[in-house]
Amino acid sequence: MHPAGPFLIPHESLRATTINGYHIPAGTRVFINTHGLGRNEEIWDNVEEFRPERHWLDDGSRVEISHGADFKILPFSAGKRKCPGAPLGVTLVLMALARLFHCFDWAPLEEHVDTREVYGMTMPKAEPLIVSARPRLAINLYN
Ligand code: HEM
């Protein structure tokens, strides 16, 4: 729902081609709308619902987002020019979030969390999230 790069990085078609009946001439600037993919009701049911478990597969494994193999979700793009830092990015985000959740009890200061975004090359929140963070470990561990 909230990809870091809503249209990935602009690409250019080297050759003319046809995709889904649309003719793409050579030299066309191409934007991949991953933001739209994440909100497409033909792909996802109840798109607005926060349900991370929708990304678990029937065999208990997770959808592998860093390979760009599943075209329903492409936060790192796909193909030859996909993000080479995807596995590191996923690990860093997980580690940072894990530390923040382990070290603090978090609570939003406003009842309604505003999830609107600003569109651009990257997609930051329109309004900052204001929260309280209460340490949950021994205080000497926070130096
Ligand atoms: C969660 C973190 C990250 C996200 C969401 C992300 C996302 C992306 C996206 C969407 C692209 C454009 C792919 C395309 O051209 O269609 C990209 C390209 C790229 N990313 Fe990342 N990235 C992340 C972390 C990293 C890290 C940690 C590194 C390096 C250590 C990295 C290095 C690159 C490079 C070099 C490219 C250009 C690849 C090319 O044009 O051939 N990224 N990234």
87-127 confidence digits (pLDDT tens)? 999 999 999 999 999 999 999 998 888 989 998 889 999 99
What's the confidence (pLDDT) of residue 70? 81
Q: Are strands 22-24 and 29-30 parallel, antiparallel or unpaired?
A: unpaired
Alpha helices (H) in the chain, listed in sequence order: 34-37, 86-103
**CB contact set of 32 (below 8 Å; sequence gap of 6+):** 7, 8, 11, 74, 77
Name residue 18's amino acid: T
Contact 43, 31 (CB under 8 A): no
Residue 140 has pLDDT above 80, yes or no: yes
pLDDT, one tens digit per residue, over 36-92 is: 998 999 989 999 898 988 888 888 887 778 777 788 888 899 888 899 999 999 999
Collect all residues with Cβ–Cβ distance below 8 Å to 127 and sequence separation of at least 6: 114, 116
The pair of structure tokens assigned to 139 is 């205080």
The pair of structure tokens assigned to 50 is 């926060």
pTM for this structure?
0.86
- CB-based pocket (< 6 A), ligand 1: 4-5, 8-9, 75-77, 81-85, 88-89, 93
Residue scoring higher pLDDT (21 or 57): 21
Minimal-distance CA residue to ligand 1 atom 23: 89
Residue nearest to atom 32 of ligand 1 (CA): 85
